Structure 1
Amino acid sequence: MAYVNASLEERMRACAYMFWFESYLGAPEFPASEGLIPLDPMLRQRYIAYQDRCYRRWLQHALSLEGNVKAFEAACIAVRAGWFGKCDILMRVRGWASAISEPLQTEHPAGPPRATARS
């Protein structure tokens, strides 16, 4: 298949951008103070599993665009490294989609509200 005016590197970078945005937008929400990966073990497992699914999906897209694993991984590293720092866009969008991508919780974890006595 011919790709007009798109080098292998450009195609891999496009897949890498999509991988990072999808993995951060839909990741389970956790406090920004924890950094890039949640500290809670169960949440960390969910986070890593979600990121792995995104990685596999975008790797398949990269392979379908005549790419290879090494080129895709190099593009992922280059794309992510370019965003680190004070203006890290991925840290700003992290978890935005998690509220709409996960089932709604019908009850608060602490249970239903309790009636209080009025004075």
Structure 2
Amino acid sequence: MNEVTHRDRAQIIAKLNDEFRTTLTGGTVLMTAGVEALGPQFVAKALASVRAFNEFTEDNDPHREHDFGAFSIRGQKLFWKIDYYDQSMRYGSENPCDPEATCRVLTVMLAEEY
């Protein structure tokens, strides 16, 4: 098997993250208590904003993995973040490029909860 370059690795991870983020399938989606407390309509808007997010820049995506974003709803600043775990969900994934070996977790939080 050919060795995957750092750039290729980032592109593979970004593609997997984009698929997960835009469909909300293929992983676990979590909301923090602060987001949940703002009600179901707010949560729905937050999820729609995460799915539509495509404003990746050098500042918010320095590794080009599309694993973080920030947006605002009704004056509230929110972040979303994708983390990679092994199949047991106990440790970080050794290979986030491999969807069979990686459990993706997307967390949506208020900026103040970060």
> Does the TM-score normalized on the shorter chain lie above 0.5?
no
TM-score, length-normalised on structure 1? Answer: 0.29
Greater helix proportion: 1
Greater strand proportion: 2
**Structure number with larger C-alpha Rg:** 1
Q: Which has the higher contact order (CA 8 A, sep 6+)?
A: 1
